[in-house]
Amino acid sequence: MRWSNLFVPTLREPPADAEAANHKLLIRGGFIRQLHSGHYSLLPLGLRVHEKVAAIVRREMDAIGGQEFLLPAMHPAEVWKKSGRWHAVGEEMFRLVDRKGADNVLGMTHEEIFTDVAQEITSYRSLPQIWYQIQWKFRDEPRPKSGLLRVREFAMKDSYSFDIDEAGLDRSFDVHHDAYVRIFAALGLPAIPVEASSGAMGGSGSTEFMVPSSAGEDDIALCGNCGYAANVERAKARLSVVEDRDLSELARFPTPGVRTIADLETIEGGASAVHQIKTMVMVLDGEVTLALLRGDHELEIQKLADFTGAADVRPATAQETLQHLGANPGSLGAVHVDGLRVVCDPALEGRRGLTTGANEDDWHWSGVDIARDVAVDEWADLRRVQADEPCQNCGTPLEIVRCIEAGHIFKLGTKYSDALGASVLDPNGNQKPLVMGSYGIGIGRNVAAVAEIHHDDKGLLWPLNVAPFEVVITIVNTKDDASAAAGESLYNDLRSAGVDVLLDDRDARAGVKFADAELIGVPYRVTVGPRALADGDVELTSRATGDTTRVGVDSIAALLVDTVNRERG
């Protein structure tokens, strides 16, 4: 490709509303342009990177026996109604009505559609199957953000495994896990597999691949010693031991103006946070529920959702709280509360001498004995792990690390095959529902993640695997005939050797060309100019290290072919 013919609208300044590094650099480098919130056009450079990421994913999926499909992006509502997700998903799904008045959706994922196809698998002898596609998903995100990291329309590699039993699913899950490890390694992403919540997808377990980055949106708990890693939506930690206070008598006491745990710590007759009960009033699919935690702990809403299976979990409004408990936040508690579901964190199990709200404004209880005074319906781990809490395995203080969710794999079980009637005959002639897994990698998000991880103050620093070009030949002065001829000759040699090479033949000043090459992040730059050419040399500069070496005109092509082949991996 010749730069003089390529559309690469580089900018010296990023748009004012770009915040994330990947966003700024992909815009500045002429890779993407925004059409609309959450919808980006891929320009030629952006598409090249996108396709290279997709090619790596495709290669690894093929390597584990995946078969590539391409399913429709638009689906009839019926199939989503069969699985129950037409109602379960809510506003995240784009829905539209066709001319016949029929409901349709733009696919946000494809469990239903692949399972529909899988109805034609009839025998256990055909199993296992791994099916995948790289295809566009549509999700009406409440808040698209950070360039390509979170958008409403994006290419995703989604794959689905079909097995006869759980053991088969475990194997399919494991080969996907390993394939994902290889994919992220090839992309130069230091992804950490972590235990995750499977959320609305359903199923028995899931693993997320998390790339540490401040641009991310998820927190994981990480043990630097034993390697324990889990999304905070699931993470556990050892509980610090608390000695109960010697207060066995339940007593009401006035707490004028007390609204927070901290207030209650300092007021006369109050208690330190570890001796308080935090009462969170939540609404689970319309049912008002009390979630109880130790005063110094925080509620992890996803844990509550996972435990209860509720699809919609939200804090109660002020009116709901007042209506059901008779008091405002700050004076709430579960003592002697009847008729509301009470879910309690194990950190409160067996605790006594506690202090909590009395469900009357400006009054609290002291001397609360959980077992005696609170009608707990269910016990469930509800607390969000905090930094420096001891690892449950080895006791080392946990780190909380902000991450980009680069991939997510799920064990689905038979949720979709049951709903859609996808079953096979087992060796004994019995109908068995297919045991399924589903596995996703967002292609554009991974482009963004690589950009987020690999850049410096001059621009992008693509790993060779995904760089829009592997080599750029910068002709310092195109009016110098010898330079132009040498550049053209090298360009032809590299092209015929299969190197992805860009010839910067623009009639521009050298500084402009150098700056652009660095901005778009081409791993190797060959500078062809009269200075080195006088000695029969060109200069080879590594984008990653900035190191420049002189190489003879006669040997540069072979050296680059060699280098590129080695780094392609």
Residues 93-152 that bind RNA (CB under 7 A): 109, 139, 141-146, 149-151
506-525 footprint of RNA as x/- string (CB under 7 A): ---xxxx-xxx-xx------
Residue 81, CA atoms < 13 Å, CB-side half-sphere: 7
Contact 450, 462 (CB under 8 A): yes
Under the criterion CB under 7 A, does residue 444 sit at the interface with RNA? yes
Under the criterion CB under 7 A, does residue 64 sit at the interface with RNA? no
Q: Closer to RNA at the Cβ: 34 or 172? A: 34
CB of 567 to RNA, least distance (A): 21
> Letter for the amino acid at 562?
D
Region for 173 from its dihedrals, namely left if φ exceeds 0, alpha if ψ lies in -120 to 50, beta otherwise? alpha
Under the criterion CB under 7 A, does residue 309 sit at the interface with RNA? no
Q: Closer to RNA at the Cβ: 198 or 276? A: 198
Binding residue for RNA, selected from 407, 433, 468, 487, defined by CB under 7 A = 407
Q: How many residues bind RNA (CB under 7 A)?
A: 72
Binding residue for RNA, selected from 4, 9, 74, 349, defined by CB under 7 A = 9
Under the criterion CB under 7 A, does residue 17 sit at the interface with RNA? yes
19-58 footprint of RNA as x/- string (CB under 7 A): xx--x----------x-xxx--------------------
CB of 68 to RNA, least distance (A): 18
Interactions with RNA, residue window 152-171 (CB under 7 A): 154, 156
d(CA 458, CA 520): 9
Question: What is the DSSP annotation of 302-363?
Answer: HHHHHHHT-S-EEEPPHHHHHHHHSS-TTS---BT--SSEEEE-GGGTT--SEEEEEEETTE
Helices (H), 408-522: 415-420, 443-453, 481-496, 510-520
CB of 194 to RNA, least distance (A): 11
d(CA 8, CA 98): 39
With residue 392 as reference, give the H or E element that holds it: none
d(CA 261, CA 355): 10
Binding residue for RNA, selected from 258, 370, 533, 540, defined by CB under 7 A = 533
CB of 565 to RNA, least distance (A): 25
Q: In sequence order, which residues have a C-beta less than 8 Å from that of residue 158 and are 6 or more positions away?
A: 109, 110, 132, 133, 135, 137, 438, 439, 440
Strand order in the sheet with 94-97: 74-76, 103-106, 94-97
> Letter for the amino acid at 452?
E
Binding residue for RNA, selected from 83, 302, 392, 465, defined by CB under 7 A = 302
CB of 301 to RNA, least distance (A): 4
Of 39, 35, 15, whose CA–CA distance to 144 is shortest?
A: 39
d(CA 404, CA 218): 6
Interactions with RNA, residue window 186-245 (CB under 7 A): 199-201, 208, 217-218
Interactions with RNA, residue window 471-490 (CB under 7 A): 476-477, 479
Binding residue for RNA, selected from 57, 305, 424, 461, defined by CB under 7 A = 305
Interactions with RNA, residue window 327-386 (CB under 7 A): none
CB of 213 to RNA, least distance (A): 12
